[in-house]
Amino acid sequence: MNHLLVPIHEIVGEEEAERIIKKYGKKENFPNILLLDPVIEELEAKKGDLIRITRETPTAGKTVYYRVVVK
Q: How far is CA 68 from CA 9, 14, 58, 63, in A?
A: 12, 12, 25, 17
Name which of 46 and 57 has its Cβ closer to other proteins: 57
Kindly state the smallest distance separating residue 50's Cβ from other proteins, in Å.
Answer: 12
Name which of 41 and 54 has its Cβ closer to other proteins: 54
Name which of 13 and 65 has its Cβ closer to other proteins: 65
Eight-state DSSP code of residue 3? -
Eight-state DSSP code of residue 16? H
What residues make contact with other proteins under the rule CB under 8 A? 23-26, 29-31, 57, 59-61, 63-66
